Structure 1
């Protein structure tokens, strides 16, 4: 039994020297394996990896960066009120960083501040980051992108676009427009003619892209766009609730409402229940993104499944590929994602009133 007042002796974490000794290789070889360098023979790589696993060794990313001219950490920059989106993006980027031996610094910020470019440049300098993964809406501000790239900062954007922008700046893009078309078409094919649309934040490019999909589907089915059915707002439950109340107050109210994300749609559902409106038989509701809101609501929400975690993971891998070009390999290509329609119980055919 330890004497009273004595301090516990901390257990030393294994070091890179311990790994080298255990694997019977040099420190430089261990470093090359950790950095995924291609010059290491496969047999040696496997021996070093076994030593790492057996010793439960974890590289200190910040120490690695300080010891060399190369940085081994990325930054994730976002400004989004939706916690489910933020958590999914963080998990996706973190998975890629862990797989590739990089650290991650998460940086929430206010995209509207005038000195954002200076803030991000200082972040990269202070934290010695190798590059940035930019989430919307920062990823869609070309003035910011040009400024950061002009100061030598490597970056990859996650953005909403119907096709590869091919603007010279790497990205992972999501075709929100096509998915919004599919949702609106689904409602039209159920017999709905008056379909309300609740916008997300106007500063996010996904909002106008989703509206364009809604508008295109109405046009394809010769349904006039009624501006009274289109309500501005933000990507929040509260704006979904408020927007729905405005639509319910119309003399000729909609039989279906498309919320620009699942939080908005959940707010519509709450407003419908507060007003005694039967969902889906008096009102069909659809959202977007397939967040936990869509599955936990009752009834569960029809939505578009957006693989946010996978999208973010590919964005980080895209950036790391830029940082570690392979000799003779072509430069990495931008990758597109298309959210898929998921039909659940919140949408149904229009109820036809019984004849008198």
Structure 2
């Protein structure tokens, strides 16, 4: 027979209410009690009944993940990370893809949240960077967490997971400079994503730090797609003064740029170095493999869901002081591969 919350309470020697508090990660339970309940849950293989929990009262145990992103690899890793945290903490997840440019996007999100009786929302770019979307969620009095590019100096009043895109972009550009490149181009992603500006700012900051003259012809507006990378690289390689290196705003763009460069007869990295961003499968499926910034998307998503669930639990506990400003920070790490490295010291250099 399937174990019940009553069975867990009896085995742990606590009340049913205490078991509920432990499952919901409320701070009012002692560590010893948490350990006893956790051991009982594991021994009985107890799984909370989400439908019953949601119907029992006003508290919902369902999160929503709202996104608009063409990168399938990014979205899959986001979903896996959020789901892992939800399963561990007794929550369900509703996934809602949408088009951030739709005229009725605000009504769509509000309708979905009400219809699904959500406890909270995980929001990724560009929706997490759109003031109108955030204002609509605030009107619903719905807890949410945002995943956005930022730094340790970023100031936000709501739970956020910041990804330090600018610092990582600086390191990628610095690596290219240290490889001897001074003619370094940049192919951007979608303009509505703050990550595009953050990565461009990191690129610009590195050029300035090394006193390298900025060339406007070397900045190509693009989208986070393979075709955009191929088109951008073709335009750059058609310039009279061609770049010797290209920093692409993500790995999909970089894969497209590498494809176009090789079709044009360029040897990589001997004649042209190419770097991406994110460490998606695109970076490992090219020949040569791409230098990139390893972004732990799965972990970022899991931390975001954890922040949201903890925020929800704090609100429900009716504590006198609720910590509403909770932030997590991630900096993608430089990962040097053959697409930029002229010698065999890739592994050694990537550690330094």
Within the alignment, does 1:101 sit opposite 2:94 as a pair?
no
Correspondent of 1:337 among 321, 330, 333 = 330
Correspondent of 1:86 among 75, 99, 106 = 75
Task: Provide Cα deviations, 1:136-168, integer angstroms capped at 9, x if missing partner.
Answer: 000001222123213312111100123443242
Matches within 5 A, 1:152-301: 152-301=141-290
Matches of 2:177 and 2:81, distance apart in 1: 35
Matches of 1:237 and 1:340, distance apart in 2: 23
Matches of 1:177 and 1:49, distance apart in 2: 41
- Aligned to 1:324, the other structure's residue is in SS state helix
Q: Per-residue deviation at 1:227?
A: 1.8
Aligned partner of 1:6 in structure 2 is: none
Q: Per-residue deviation at 1:124?
A: 1.5
Question: Is 2:62–2:93's contact at 8 Å kept on the other side of the alignment?
Answer: yes
Matches of 1:127 and 1:199, distance apart in 2: 36
Distance 1:51 1:338, change over 3 A: closer
Q: Per-residue deviation at 1:15?
A: 4.1
Q: Per-residue deviation at 1:40?
A: 5.4
Matches of 2:15 and 2:158, distance apart in 1: 39
Matches of 1:169 and 1:17, distance apart in 2: 36
Distance 1:296 1:232, change over 3 A: same
Task: Provide Cα deviations, 1:298-335, integer angstroms capped at 9, x if missing partner.
Answer: 21211111121222222112212211227477715322
Task: Provide Cα deviations, 1:81-100, integer angstroms capped at 9, x if missing partner.
Answer: 11111111112222222222
- Aligned to 1:196, the other structure's residue is in SS state strand
Matches of 1:339 and 1:44, distance apart in 2: 38
Task: Provide Cα deviations, 1:185-233, integer angstroms capped at 9, x if missing partner.
Answer: 1111211121111111111000011111111222222222222221111
Aligned partner of 2:292 in structure 1 is: 303
Question: Is 1:20–1:30's contact at 8 Å kept on the other side of the alignment?
Answer: yes
Matches of 2:123 and 2:211, distance apart in 1: 39
Aligned partner of 2:349 in structure 1 is: none
Distance 1:144 1:39, change over 3 A: closer
- Count how many residue pairs are aligned between Structure 1 and Structure 2: 339
RMSD (CA atoms): 2.4
Aligned partner of 1:9 in structure 2 is: none
Question: Is 1:19–1:48's contact at 8 Å kept on the other side of the alignment?
Answer: yes
Q: Per-residue deviation at 1:56?
A: 2.9
Matches within 5 A, 1:39-188: 45-46=34-35, 48-188=37-177
Matches of 2:27 and 2:133, distance apart in 1: 35
Question: Is 2:25–2:310's contact at 8 Å kept on the other side of the alignment?
Answer: no
Question: Is 2:255–2:282's contact at 8 Å kept on the other side of the alignment?
Answer: yes
Distance 1:25 1:176, change over 3 A: closer
Q: Per-residue deviation at 1:257?
A: 0.7
Q: TM-score, normalised by structure 2?
A: 0.88
Task: Provide Cα deviations, 1:269-292, integer angstroms capped at 9, x if missing partner.
Answer: 111222221101011010011112
